[in-house]
Amino acid sequence: RARPVRTRVTPLLPMPDLFSSTSSPEADGTGALPPAKARKVGSPSIVRGADAALLAAAAMKARWSSLVLVEVTSTSPDYIKPWKMHSQRSCKGSGFVIEGGRILTNYHVVQDAIDVRLRKHGVSRRWRGTVLARGPDVDLALLAVHEDEEGRGDSFWNGVTPAVWCSTLPALQSAVHVIGFPTGGTTISVTQGVVSRVDCKNYRVGSSAFANSGGLLVLQIDAAINAGNSGGPAFCSDGSVVGVAFQSLGGAADGIGYLIPTQVCLNFLAAVAGGEYKGISDVPFLARELRNASLRRRHRVPDDVTGVLVTRASSHSALGVRVDDVVLSIDGKKVGDDGSVELRESELVSYEFLLTGKQRGEPTSVLVLRGGERVQLCAPLSQLPRRLPRNHGFDCFPHYVIIGGLVFVRLCCPMLEDKRSKGHHSAIYDLVNYQIARSFPPADGGGEGGEVAEILLLTEILAAPLNYGYTCHAWRVLDTLNGQRPKSLRALHQMYRAVPDGAFLEFVFSHGGDQIVLDATECRQSEPDILQLHAIPSATSDGLQGGGEEPAAPAPAP
């Protein structure tokens, strides 16, 4: 037999007034609440809070006049077919005015720009801009404004207040406001968040991310950063700039954006002020963690000592770090077994920022354990020679040489990043792995006197009667021409010109010793027809036809 459920009814108590000055009501015997004690609008605490909020908002809004919309039209060279250019494209980003009548933005916003237009916040007119300096390794660029070239009389600088840099690295959980012109609208956008993390990160992304100079400091924030925010400022609560928006983490990750911190920006500006920007210093060694007990004993590392083990070192660095050295400290900062150093109290980041975050020529002190003995090293760092050029317009250009329909180019990072290279990525990466990964930094191929031998690549065979039958030799590294190894495209062109008529050209390639043999006379006679058939203006790119010392003529192939 089911038993009835007895429910105990409890009288309802009056709800406390959450907005009164007390959280517990005073009963008057009837159960009724006394009238709520309303806080006066003019009370000192509210006035002080309102004044502080208004002052902060005013300080922030005063800096908005430094914001600039950057509209760019660009076109980039085709590194697969270097005699061509890619289609013209347009994009937009953000920037902001700094001291000296200049505008700072991201390098990737104005990369390959052929026309730059600048619009101030709240003004519809566009002014023409010019790129003064580029820093691809730090993703920064400096712009100038062409003043009143249309004769309209209104100055770009009217009502503009340059942004002010924050003097310190922001603390975790510090409030930040990211301002710019992202997608989703045409007017200014302001997003708010906090500094979530201070870390050391590779600024280079994409297919050539492995070719970076080393990790740089980065601020991670949870404020929204979208396409179009790039190059825009991030302000802290006092209205000063703590960083420049440049990346966001897409995909499943949400609310992860990255800022270039003030220190990196100021180093870039200082380098530009001192002359032509030449890039940050390369980390001159690679190291592995030193946490395994056997590995530590093998290198005679005491139990109370921490550090990292050098596995590769550049012979071109003045610092003098060697393979099997144990790096104990950098500039007096102790290096942990995992490669971390203390940034601030209880905050650890990679040791690389101590090397990449310096201005050129600034000395670096490194304490190493070498054969069980402590050795103090000190020298300024610099960029290291590389066989794999990294940036178009800096250390590489779309040069080529065509000999008998064989198209030769130099292997470089822009080739990996070229959209047309997607169909050839496996072949290119095989070349990178075999030709580059064996040395440090990637293709540290310097010879005597720092001379760097280029990696020459056969990318295509343009069909012609004289090269009939050679259809499967593309994407090979050229080893020798008639027994001699050309050190550059220029040297290859000069060696070809030095071979007499009636002799043969014997090209030998790596990966199995493949070879192609052509008649030198037929190559020269067929050149005009091949170029006309494929709409190619010249057999060599501009700049390779003259200059430099003539190499010794290679012996004709028998």
Catalytic site positions = 108, 139, 230
Q: CB-based contacts of 383: which residues, under 8 Å, 6+ apart? A: 213, 278, 279, 280, 281, 282
Secondary structure of residue 161 in the 3-state scheme: coil
SS (H, E, C) 60-73: HHHHHHHEEEEEEE
Cβ–Cβ under 8 Å, residues 476 and 457:
yes
Phi-psi region of 275 (alpha: psi -120 to 50; beta: other; left: phi over 0): left
- How open is the CA angle 409-85-110, to the nearest 5 degrees? 105
Nearest to 327 by CA among 379, 375, 384: 375
Q: Which two tokens stand for residue 526?
A: 């067929």
Q: How far apart are CA 42 and CA 453, in angstroms?
A: 77
> Cα 541 from chain centroid?
28
Cα torsion 108, 111, 113, 118: sign: positive
Q: How far apart are CA 135 and CA 105, in angstroms?
A: 10
Helices then strands, each counted (H, E), the chain: 9, 26
Nearest to 114 by CA among 69, 78, 76, 68: 76
Strands 102-105 and 140-145: antiparallel
**Residue that the structure tokens 């012609």 belong to:** 464
Q: How far apart are CA 203 and CA 216, in angstroms?
A: 7
Q: What is the DSSP letter of 421?
A: G
Cβ–Cβ under 8 Å, residues 79 and 418:
yes
Q: CB-based contacts of 464: which residues, under 8 Å, 6+ apart? A: 404, 405, 526, 529, 530, 533
